[in-house]
Chain A
Amino acid sequence: MFDQIAGSTKLKLSGKAKVILAFTSFLAVMLGNSLSHIAAIVIFSVIILYSGVKPRLYLKMLTIPLLFIIPGIIVISIINGEERVFWIIKKEGLETAFNTFLRSFSSITVLYFLITTTTLPEIFSSLRKITPSFVLEIATLMYRAIQILVDEIFRIKRAQEARLGYINFKRGLNSFSFLINVLLIKSFKRAEKFSIAMENRCYTGKIPHMDRNLSFREIIIILLINTVIILPRWFDVQIA
Chain B
Amino acid sequence: MFRLHDVHYYYDDGTHALKGISIEINKKRTVIVGNNGAGKTTLLMHLNGLLKPKKGYVEYRGKKIRYDKKSLIELRKEVSLVFQNPDDQIVAPTVEQDVAFGLVNIGIEDFEERVKEALEIVGLKGYEKRLCSSLSFGEKKKVAIAGVLVMKPRVMLLDEPTSGLDPKSKKEFTEILEGIDSMLIITTHDMDFAHEFANEIIVMNNGRIVEKGLPEVVFLRDLEKYGLRSPVVVEIYKSLGLNEKLPRKIEDLIKIIKQQRA
A residues adjacent to B (C-beta < 8 A): 3-4, 7-8, 119-122, 140-141, 143-144, 147-148, 150-151, 193-194, 196-210
Contacts and interface: CB of A to CB of B under 8 A. Distances in A.
A201 B105 contact: yes
A201 B97 contact: no
Given A7-B134, A121-B131, A202-B102, A197 B89 contact: yes
Interface of B: 48, 50, 72-73, 76-77, 80-81, 83, 87-94, 96-97, 100-106, 111-112, 129-134, 147-148, 151
B149 to A, nearest CB: 12
A3 B131 contact: yes
Contact of B97 (A8, A203, A209): A209
B93 A200 contact: no
Contact of B131 (A147, A200, A207, A208): A147
A108 to B, nearest CB: 25
Contacts of B103: 208
Nearest to B73: A202
Nearest to B74: A202
A205 B69 CA distance: 13
Given A7-B129, A200-B80, A201-B91, 6 more contacts: A8-B134, A199-B76, A200-B48, A203-B105, A207-B104, A209-B97
A71 B181 CA distance: 67
Nearest to B75: A202
Contact of A147 (B48, B83, B102, B133): B133
* A-B pairs with lowest CB-CB distance, top 6: A208-B100, A147-B133, A7-B131, A208-B104, A121-B93, A201-B102
Nearest to A195: B91
B77 A202 contact: yes
Given A4-B134, A119-B131, A202-B73, A208 B91 contact: no
Contacts of B104: 206-208
B193 to A, nearest CB: 23
A206 B105 CA distance: 6
A7 B128 CA distance: 11
B133 A151 contact: yes
A144 B87 CA distance: 10
Contacts of B93: 119-121, 140, 143-144, 147
